[in-house]
Amino acid sequence: MNKDNARPSATENASFQKESLGIFYVILSAVLFGTMPLLARIAYAHGSNSFTVAFGRFLFGSIGLGILTAVLPGQSPRISRELFLAVLKLSVPYALVPILLYASYTSIDSGMATALHFTYPIAVMLIMAVFRKARLEPVQIVCTVLCVGGIALFNVSDGPVSAQGILMAVGSGIFYAIYIVLLGKSSAKSLPPLVLSFWVSLLSAVEIGLISSCTGNLTFALEPAGWAAEIVLALFATVLGLVLFQQGVLHCGEVKASLFSTFDPLTGIVIGAAVFHEALTPQILLGMAGILAAAVLLVLSSLLAARRQA
């Protein structure tokens, strides 16, 4: 065999480097998203609550995204009235996601909450099957069983586990799934990702602010460390995390980006165990493994299906 022919071409090397860089971006973004439990709990310890943390994340995040859309070439925060109404519809379920997820941190371990939130790929699949009459493939049924089994294991774990906390964490995943399904059919998906994220974040901040004010849950009596935690949370989870994930998708594709985004719940689990000394019993570990395995299996099946159609 000719040794020159066995060597990767310059094009193949460039493609490999681009894909590797994309995977690095996605993993880094997932790690940033995975710091949410830590930052939220720091804010709680200094006078905040789940409503205020969600409000601060989107408010400060929308400011950062607004600056990016205003200064970056090819970006503009201006949208039509039709697109504004489309984004407004999307922002309602999107705003409920962090309220439920952050509230679950006060009832159950953050690692468990993050893993439960990551049931959203299963929720997307089931919503599509029920409301869009999409046919479930055998691998999707297996993933559903794995996911439900993982959740069930949390209820038989050693020590008390809050059913309310589990429901809130799963609920956050369901509302995120609703957002994803609505986005797939929305005219707003034609917007550049940064512009869409800016408007969704801004409208979510307004909605959370109104709900929190009416229910008496919005507080501004935070210590400096609490405000700092909220600002860093907005920077990590709404600005940097989003930009890095988008760049990762551009470099390595949607399927691989989805696969490596599983570093998000893994980061949450590690932080929960290392910082908050959360107990990881065999049942809890097995439950988390079942949920993550279901998400990874779904992504891999999508990748194989795409290759067969190519």
pLDDT in tens, 224-252: 999 999 999 999 988 998 888 888 887 87
User: Bigger pLDDT: 151 or 66?
Assistant: 66
- The mean pLDDT value of the chain amounts to 87
Q: Is the pLDDT of residue 18 over 70?
A: yes
Q: Where along the chain do its domains lie?
A: 26-309
Task: Kindly provide the b/e burial profile for residues 171-199, where b requires at least 16 CB atoms within 10 angstroms of the residue's own CB.
Answer: bbbbbbbbbbbbbeebebeebebbbbbbb
* Distance (Å, whole) CA 176 – CA 205: 16
Tens of pLDDT, residue by residue over 32-86, are 999 999 999 999 999 999 999 999 999 999 999 999 999 988 889 999 999 999 9
Burial of 32: CB neighbours in 10 Å, binned 0-12, 13-18, 19+: buried
Q: Is the pLDDT of residue 7 over 70?
A: no
pLDDT, position 262 = 79
pTM assigned to the model: 0.85
pLDDT, position 2 = 53
**Mean pLDDT of the 259-271 span:** 83
Q: Is the pLDDT of residue 254 over 80?
A: no
Q: Is the pLDDT of residue 185 over 80?
A: yes
